[in-house]
Structure 1
């Protein structure tokens, strides 16, 4: 980013050619992290120059964008990104989701047809009491709009994923192979692994209340495609034996396992790279 901003359009054709190469243009990061870990967009003056003068010249090389949600519209509308497949979005909130993750989104085509890797990092200051009721549908909105997603990660969303009472077609995806998400209960974890995500090879899940009642009978067939599984939760010994172990037994071709499980006054940390 600094190279592009400093050296592009400085009346030197050779420099222009060099800085437009893939090394400098494949991945563009438009966010800044403060010493307190707050994430901000780059300065308006720099952003304006990128949108007006720089991005239209390098758009054909851009494959990955790292954006702050408030500046997303300016950047995505600056030019056509024919090779863009990866998007990491910071400071996401319910207003961003309801405005841009719908069929009326100005980015519908690029979201629907191009994006395969999506990481949403929520604003850590989000107040649960002020959230839009539609926030609970963020996951549904996303999977419905981003039809070609292969990797989906949600970080810091105060609205935990809960799908145990939804139809099995709600979270159906034939493309998704990596999912990183926080869920309400163990039943939600079982629901995600009931066959609706058949291509899932990597599943990283944090379960908030693993001792929830299992009121629904889910498909418990083997998960032959699962290669990496990471589970974080609080779990009584009895629940570990009756829920976690049977789940692991379904992953017969697992290659890597990471467990971070709290049992009363004991913490189980397990990481195995070769199962």
Structure 2
């Protein structure tokens, strides 16, 4: 009687003010069916199983046709009553696939602990066949059943989005891997006081992991520079890698006065990742044969010679993203392109996707100095920041 009164009387009074619901499997269908929730943005589903997913997201009920349109954050705890761990993974994959197919605006997903005992954890030592795809998902928080990971020999961690939890989350995890021999870290990190440099890696990783004999990394640290004094130069950062026990290390620093930010990129060479983000005019060049996706950003204009350097450094480039509101001087560009027969022709043989600001359209579509062999996807962003 109490639950019926809640659904029939209370929910209709508050449905348009409800922004978050936390529901468990035995009541979720009744609550979601009772009324529409036009302002529902956050949803928690607990002890959920495949049958519940089918009721919520498919078939005649399809309860999220109205209620799921604006959900951006989802917390979920999956029913753990499985005969085997493989069965659990298979079920979890179907659940995630059903959810992400319908919640098309979802940008944060958490597989998390709750007051319920039946929640799913994933383990490092699994050959994980739990895969799902979302074009909108920006944040994922998954509880990993780490258990005894002292015998782990090889570990690699890569994240394409910036994090501020390096010291609080990543380093404590690494310290539990006392027998680690090979480590790869590929991170974009927010820092408050100082860039991540060679001294930081020596103090917090190299000196704390006695068995480590191979360490590859690419770490870009971003920092607000307002009111900060004695900011380090590229030479200062490179000096911190003297005596560093690994392969060749490359580093460079950029400062962006308009944004009041600075960034420092340190990486071991050769570079093994498929993505290279946030390249500026200070990019030193080299050969990056594994890279397929590149993004460019600066507060200073990119010149023709810069794009020559990019083409030579990334011979197998497939996707290029360019953000720069400072355009080249048009007269200078045309004069250098038309009157200088020795100016190098840039050929992107494998480029299939190009997203650029409109200030650089001439640079990429000027027939005599730029050759795009197999492009098939262009996006030109209109620059609203012209002076």
Please state if 1:175 is matched with 2:175.
no
Q: Pick the structure with more helix per residue.
A: 1
Which of 366, 372, 385 is matched with 1:246 structurally?
A: 366
Counterpart residue number, 1:133:
233
CA separation in 1, counterparts of 2:327 and 2:149? 49
How far 1:127 sits from its partner (Å)?
Answer: 3.2
Please state if 1:73 is matched with 2:171.
yes
TM-score normalized with structure 2 length: 0.42
Tell which structure's C-alpha radius of gyration is larger: 2
Counterpart residue number, 2:379:
258
Going from structure 1 to structure 2, the CA distance change for 1:181 and 1:5 (only over 3 Å counts) comes to same
TM-score normalized with structure 1 length: 0.55
- Secondary structure in 2 matching 1:137: strand
Please state if 1:151 is matched with 2:275.
yes
Report the aligned-residue RMSD. Answer: 5.3
CA separation in 2, counterparts of 1:70 and 1:84? 17
- Residue 311 of structure 2 contacts residue 348 of structure 2 at CA under 8 Å; is this kept in 1? no
Worse-matched range after superposition: 219-228 or 208-217: 208-217
- Residue 353 of structure 2 contacts residue 377 of structure 2 at CA under 8 Å; is this kept in 1? yes
- Secondary structure in 2 matching 1:259: strand
Segments of 5+ residues of structure 1 without an aligned counterpart are 27-32, 34-38, 155-159, 266-275
Counterpart residue number, 1:193:
310
Going from structure 1 to structure 2, the CA distance change for 1:192 and 1:203 (only over 3 Å counts) comes to farther
- Residue 272 of structure 2 contacts residue 290 of structure 2 at CA under 8 Å; is this kept in 1? yes
Matches within 5 A, 1:206-221: 206-211=323-328, 219-221=344-346
Q: How many residues align?
A: 222
CA separation in 2, counterparts of 1:138 and 1:145? 17
Counterpart residue number, 1:96:
196
Bigger relative CO (Cα 8 Å, ≥ 6 apart) = 1
How far 1:246 sits from its partner (Å)?
Answer: 1.7
Worse-matched range after superposition: 80-89 or 143-152: 80-89
CA separation in 1, counterparts of 2:275 and 2:370? 24
How far 1:250 sits from its partner (Å)?
Answer: 1.6
